[in-house]
Amino acid sequence: MTKIKTLADLVKLRDELQSKQALADSADNAESIIQIKVGMGTSGIASGAKAVIDFLVEALEKRNIEANVSQTGDMGYSYAEPTIEVKKPGKDPVVFGFVNVQKADEIIEKYIKRDELVEGIIPVNYHTIDN
């Protein structure tokens, strides 16, 4: 990565990253992509998040679904670990709780492929700093 030597450098880098993100998020775009985050804090990992992320990466590839799978920290729902967030382009992100490999499979087949709802959705229950 290039060095950040001034505030302007940082602003430029941030803007680039943000527009890349916006492209990935928007519905009809060559670069839009399904984004999946797996909660990999200590409690997530202790509940089996590692197996879930490994499964997701492998299964999505095998089934020819383009998606970006990444790890993130604790989403806060310790009671429902492992938790994953699925964001389809143009849609609000959806958080699923109690996700084991079987559940992850169901999420791919139903929610990701066919937009069918799957049980175990955790509703948003907090404000962010921007709203």
Partner 1 sequence: MTKYKQIRIALNNCGVIDPENIEDYIARDGYMALGKCITEMTPQDVIKEIKDSGLRGRGGGGFPAGLKWEIASKNHADQKYVVCNADEGDPGAFMDRSVLEGDPHAVLEAMAICGYSIGATKGLIYIRAEYPLAIKRLKIAIDQAREVGLLGKNIFGSKFDFDIELRYGAGAFVCGEETSLIHSMEGLRGEPTIKPPFPAEKGYLGKPTNVNNVETYASVPIIIRKGASWFNKIGTEKSKGTKVFALAGKVNNVGLVEVPMGTTLREVIFEIGGGIQNGKKFKAVQTGGPSGGCLTEKHLDTPIDFDNLVAAGSMMGSGGMIVMDEDNCMVSVAKFYLDFTVEESCGKCSPCRIGNKRLFELLERITKGQGTMDDLQRLRNMSNVIKDTSLCGLGQTSPNPVLSTLDNFYDEYLAHVKDHKCPAGECKDLMKYFIIAENCVGCTACARVCPVGAITGEKKEAHLINSETCIKCGACMERCKFDAIIIK
The residues that touch partner 1, with contacts defined as CB under 8 A, are 1-7, 10-11, 13-14, 17-18, 21, 37, 39, 41-43, 45, 70-80, 83, 85, 124-129, 131
- Take residue 51 and report the two structure tokens written for it: 């197996």
Minimum distance between the CB of residue 74 and partner 1, rounded to whole angstroms? 4
DSSP 8-class letter at 80: G
| CA-to-CA dists, residue 84 to 30, 78, 119, 128, angstroms | 25, 12, 13, 19
Judged by beta carbon, residue 11 or residue 117, the one nearer partner 1 is: 11
Minimum distance between the CB of residue 4 and partner 1, rounded to whole angstroms? 5
Minimum distance between the CB of residue 55 and partner 1, rounded to whole angstroms? 19
Judged by beta carbon, residue 2 or residue 64, the one nearer partner 1 is: 2
SS3 68: strand
Nearest to 91 by CA among 29, 25, 28, 24: 25
Separation CA 46–CA 131 (nearest Å) = 33
Judged by beta carbon, residue 15 or residue 116, the one nearer partner 1 is: 15
